[in-house]
């Protein structure tokens, strides 16, 4: 899936950042363009020089966030990896995106229903395409005998629901680091999928065993 992130600068970026905070605190419906202007330090009339509507601001937030998720996951999907390792890496990348901007993650998870067509349909298609990547990993693991037989669609939906709920409880000053959170969630999710046959779970546990050309860029914690 090809999505392109467009840099946002100046006053438009101020509005963008203010909207993320206000949409989380007040919700999309309760936030007005006047609220966005005030939070951005602008005159109410000036905000329309940058965004034509409140929904356009929401569109920018949601599709920028989707781009981050896809940017992190797609390189993993192109690699020939054992399914348990691939799943752990996918979980790790997803956790890092969610925790990289908790406010934006909450908006992404809750406010997308306020989109109107054709943007709503496009966003839903992106959600399905992203979920399908996880379904693909689960199917591969079952084919290889590494995962027990499961309903992969239900499993992928449950897995993503768990990961996307991170924004509700994650705290940067909490007792667990992002890596520890990703590892613990991976353990809980992954080993529920594992086959009872003999396999070496180390392929899914040790970060040191990941391919050397897989890197996470903390300055761009995208999908």
Residue range 66-121, pLDDT digits in tens? 999 999 999 999 999 999 999 999 999 999 999 999 999 999 999 999 999 999 99
Q: Is residue 113 part of a domain?
A: yes
- Name which of 137, 141, 181, 138 is nearest 163 in CA terms: 181
| CA torsion through residues 79, 81, 83, 85, sign | negative
Question: Token pair of 138, please?
Answer: 């689960």
Q: Is residue 146 part of a domain?
A: yes
In the DSSP assignment, the letter for residue 115 is -
Cis peptide before 142 (omega within 30 of 0): no
3-state SS class at 84? helix
Q: Which domain holds residue 90?
A: 55-209
Tallying the residues shown for the chain, one arrives at 223
Q: Is residue 35 part of a domain?
A: no
- The residue with tokens 């996470």 is 216
Q: How many structural domains compose the chain?
A: 1
Distance of alpha carbon 20 from alpha carbon 71, whole angstroms: 21
3-state SS track over 51-69: CCCHHHHHHHHHHHHHHHH
Q: Is residue 144 part of a domain?
A: yes
Return the pLDDT at 204. 43
3-state SS class at 75? helix
Q: What are phi and psi of 164, to 5 degrees?
A: -75, -15
Q: Is residue 68 part of a domain?
A: yes
Average pLDDT of the segment spanning 135-149: 95
Q: Is residue 194 part of a domain?
A: yes
Question: Token pair of 201, please?
Answer: 């779970």
N- to C-terminal Cα separation, the chain: 11
Number of H helices, E strands in the chain: 8, 0
Average pLDDT of the segment spanning 153-164: 93
Q: With 70 as the cut, is the pLDDT of residue 197 above it?
A: no
CATH of the domain at 144: 1.10.357.10
Confidence of residue 5 (pLDDT cuts 50, 70, 90): low
Distance of alpha carbon 149 from alpha carbon 166, whole angstroms: 27
Q: Are 103 and 26 in contact (CB under 8 A)?
A: no
Query: Mutual orientation of helices 152-164 and 178-193 as an angle, nearest 10°?
Result: 160
Q: Is residue 196 part of a domain?
A: yes
Q: Is residue 172 part of a domain?
A: yes
Q: With 70 as the cut, is the pLDDT of residue 8 above it?
A: no
């Amino acid at each position: 899936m090809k999505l392109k992130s467009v840099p946002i600068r100046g006053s438009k970026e101020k509005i963008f950042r203010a909207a993320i905070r206000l949409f989380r605190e007040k919700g999309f419906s309760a936030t007005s363009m006047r609220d966005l202007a005030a939070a951005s330090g602008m005159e109410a009339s000036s905000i329309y020089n940058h965004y034509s509507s409140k929904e356009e601001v929401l569109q920018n937030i949601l599709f920028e966030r989707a781009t981050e998720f896809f940017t992190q996951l797609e390189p993993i999907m192109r690699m020939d990896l054992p399914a348990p390792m691939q799943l752990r890496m996918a979980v790790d990348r997803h956790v890092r995106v969610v925790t990289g901007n908790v406010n934006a993650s909450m908006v992404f998870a809750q406010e997308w229903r306020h989109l109107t067509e054709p943007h709503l349909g496009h966003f839903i298609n992106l959600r399905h395409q992203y979920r399908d990547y996880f379904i693909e990993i689960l199917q591969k693991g079952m084919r290889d005998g590494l995962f027990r037989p499961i309903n992969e669609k239900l499993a992928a939906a449950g897995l993503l629901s768990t990961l996307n709920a991170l924004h509700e409880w994650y705290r940067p000053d909490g007792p667990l680091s992002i890596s520890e959170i990703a590892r613990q969630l991976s353990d809980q999710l992954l080993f529920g999928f594992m086959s009872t046959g003999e396999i070496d779970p180390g392929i899914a546990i040790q970060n040191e065993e990941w391919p050397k050309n897989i890197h996470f860029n903390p300055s761009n914690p995208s999908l």
